[in-house]
A and B are shown apart, each in its own frame.
Chain A
Amino acid sequence: MGGVGEVGAGSLRDGPQAKQGSGTHLRRLEGSMRTLVGLLTSNQALLQLEAARCLHELSHSEQSTVAEACLPATSYLLTYLSSHSSDFIELCLYTLGNLIVESEAVRRQLLPQGIVPTLAACIQSPHVAVLEALGFALSQLLQAKEAPEKIIPSILASTLPQHMLQLLQPGPKLNPGVAVEFAWCLHYIICSQVSNSLLIAHGALSTLGLLLLDLAEAVQRTDDAGLELLACPVLRCVSNLLTEAEVETVGGQMQLRDERVVAALFILLQFFFQKQPSLLPEGLWLLNNLTAKSPSFCTSLLSLDLIEPLLQLLPVSNVVSVMVLTILCNVAEKGPAYCQRLWPGPLLPALLQTLFLSDTEVVGQSLELLHLLFLYQPEAVQVFLQQSGLQALERHQEEAQLQDRVYALQQTALQG
């Protein structure tokens, strides 16, 4: 099996680990790279594979000089993405992904070498392993600091977005490993805010909304660790997309109207609570964005009896508390009809409890909620007073950030 060649490739692999950083070392690396590229592009299939593995190993180096030494190989790595050997393609993609992270010089070369159209062609592969590797490489490319200006526009102009969304369609053909990669890719694109309207036009909101429903179902079926890896980027994508102007003004398909999303979200919040509490803020972020401007999503919260489960999250952390209280403010702000359904109930006792905390932000948000509650549901004031509400307020009347609001509430309570 080309014994000499194999030994040669093997020693190349070990070589660079030796003396790092010296000028001779780099020159030697250059010479070795010429040999390696020669092996990579030979017709000796097994040598080719060996050379590709060697290159892949080099790509793991944390030194950008080593990544840059691999520059002569990149045009070939890209060329081989159009070949038919799926194992080889997979290896090339992981190598490219690693090189992309390590060096801006590599990225500066890969773009004119046509990496975007090449990936757009390669994403049509039916092989799951290839797709997962492609998603990985793309996700690395999208995280580059120059991505918003130099990379994302050409990706959005290609057929990649449509294919990515297709790979995120829920159903029997959805592969979780593949979906994870492309969900993260979408997240990096969306949070860069280059042209999210394009993604919305491609149906991103409805696809991702359906995917959320699917995830909630999956989470109830299996105890699968790992679903949060997919849930996290999907939640981020939807949350950010909901802030786009189109979503508010244009009706129909482009908006997320499906109220099952609220129920699904609560199932995910429950799941996070048990498996990964650090992701609770991400789920609550979506709930905020859903309820902020939408009376119907607020109604869903109420009619699905989700206020109490929401309140149960208060003790988790200050960040979570602030978000829970903000969401409740979203509901209360919608007016008397909404506040009527917030009280009586567990809300007031929970608020009285939060007033005994010391975190300024948490208390501040509680004060805002109290204000709305008193405004639209004045009967609550009496109960507030009976349950030592004034004493709770007094604790904060010296705090600079809270003073004015504490005073205002005290006045309302005493007059009411």
Chain B
Amino acid sequence: AAEAAPFRFAARPVRFPREHEFFEDGDVQRHLYLQDVLLQVADVPEKPRVPAFTCQVAGCCQVFDALDDYEHHYHTLHGNVCSFCKRAFPSGHLLDAHILEWHDSLFQILSERQDMYQCLVEGCTEKFKTSRDRKDHMVRLHLYPVDFRFDKPKKSRSPASPGAGTQALAEVQGNSGEQSEGDAMEICTEPVVASPAPAVERRTYSHRSVPDLFLKHVLNAC
């Protein structure tokens, strides 16, 4: 009797799909809110300034007068740093991959027998025989750039005399213009620091890494 013709009412829950005009008013308000938010984001805020201070990390002499700048500097340059070669990485994940692939002799040995080079893209678990294969995968499947900065192939080094070793290392460090720009330690721009300092740094750098070269040489010779 309730739904008897000509009456047609039937209680039912209503569903509105995407793009339904019912949503128009609320959507407009959301859009206006977002415009405000985005304007605020684009506005570079006046940074609160503090008395100038120097980065306390050994060997770094950057000076700052804003804490946000320092925070970013610290994370970028001193955060995920390889203790072997001093390269800085944006994340712990990339640093771990680098240490494994560049500085772990066991990794080298294992990689001769199984696929060890892990895809660097978050969420992908594929592994590859060589770093070249991995790069191909990242370029083709994940549309990564061919020259992705955080996946540099390791350069092969000529076997050792200490002199040659140092030279090979300098090659690795300052190889292409791009690489040195990305990997070199932060060069002090403050006039306060004497200009020979960078050269001194570099020598210390190579001194620390020579034992690694010797180890490689020894392994190769066996």
Q: Is A228 in contact with B29, judged by CB distance below 8 angstroms?
A: yes
Q: Taking the nearest CB of chain B, how far is it from the CB of A415, in angstroms? A: 14
Interface residues on chain A, size class: 35 or more
Instruction: Tell me which of A49, A191, A233 contacts B69 (CB under 8 A).
Output: A49
Q: Is B121 in contact with A113, judged by CB distance below 8 angstroms?
A: yes
List residues of chain B with CB within 8 A of the CB of A253: none
B184 interface contact, C-beta 8 A: yes
B112 interface contact, C-beta 8 A: no
Q: Which residues of B, 1-21, contact A by the 8 Å Cβ criterion?
A: 1-2, 5-18, 20
Does more than half of chain B's interface fall in helix, strand or loop, or is it mixed?
A: loop
Q: Which residues of B, 144-166, contact A by the 8 Å Cβ criterion?
A: 144-145, 148-150
Q: Is B7 in contact with A118, judged by CB distance below 8 angstroms?
A: no
Instruction: Tell me which of A43, A76, A293 contacts B13 (CB under 8 A).
Output: A293
Q: Which residues of A, 260-306, contact B by the 8 Å Cβ criterion?
A: 276, 278-279, 281-282, 285, 288-289, 291-293
Q: Which residues of A, 42-92, contact B by the 8 Å Cβ criterion?
A: 42-46, 48-49, 53, 56-57, 60, 72, 75-76, 78-80, 82-85, 87-88, 90-91
List residues of chain B with CB within 8 A of the CB of A75: 143-145, 148
A11 interface contact, C-beta 8 A: no
Q: Is B2 in contact with A375, judged by CB distance below 8 angstroms?
A: yes
Q: A48-B72, A82-B122 are in contact. Are A43 and B142 (CB under 8 A)?
A: no
Q: Taking the nearest CB of chain A, how far is it from the CB of B152, in angstroms? A: 12
Does more than half of chain A's interface fall in helix, strand or loop, or is it mixed?
A: helix
Q: A117-B123, A282-B26 are in contact. Are A79 and B94 (CB under 8 A)?
A: yes
Q: Is A83 in contact with B123, judged by CB distance below 8 angstroms?
A: no
List residues of chain A with CB within 8 A of the CB of B142: 112-114
List residues of chain B with CB within 8 A of the CB of A46: 69, 72-73
Q: Is B15 in contact with A329, judged by CB distance below 8 angstroms?
A: no
Residue tally, chain B, CB below 8 Å to A: 66
Q: Is B22 in contact with A45, judged by CB distance below 8 angstroms?
A: no
A-B contacts, 5 of them at CB < 8 A, read: A42-B182, A49-B69, A79-B91, A85-B72, A85-B75
B residues neighboring A (CB under 8 Å): 1-2, 5-18, 20, 22-23, 25-26, 29-30, 33-34, 37-38, 41-42, 44, 68-69, 71-73, 75-77, 79-80, 88, 90-94, 121-124, 141-145, 148-150, 178, 181-186, 189
A residues neighboring B (CB under 8 Å): 1-2, 38, 41-46, 48-49, 53, 56-57, 60, 72, 75-76, 78-80, 82-85, 87-88, 90-91, 94, 98, 109, 112-114, 116-118, 120-121, 133, 136, 148, 180, 184, 188, 191-193, 226, 228-229, 232-233, 236, 239-240, 242-243, 276, 278-279, 281-282, 285, 288-289, 291-293, 326, 329-330, 333, 365, 367-369, 371-372, 375, 404-405, 407-408
A-B pairs, 8 with minimum CB distance: A117-B123, A404-B6, A82-B91, A45-B73, A368-B9, A85-B75, A289-B13, A278-B25
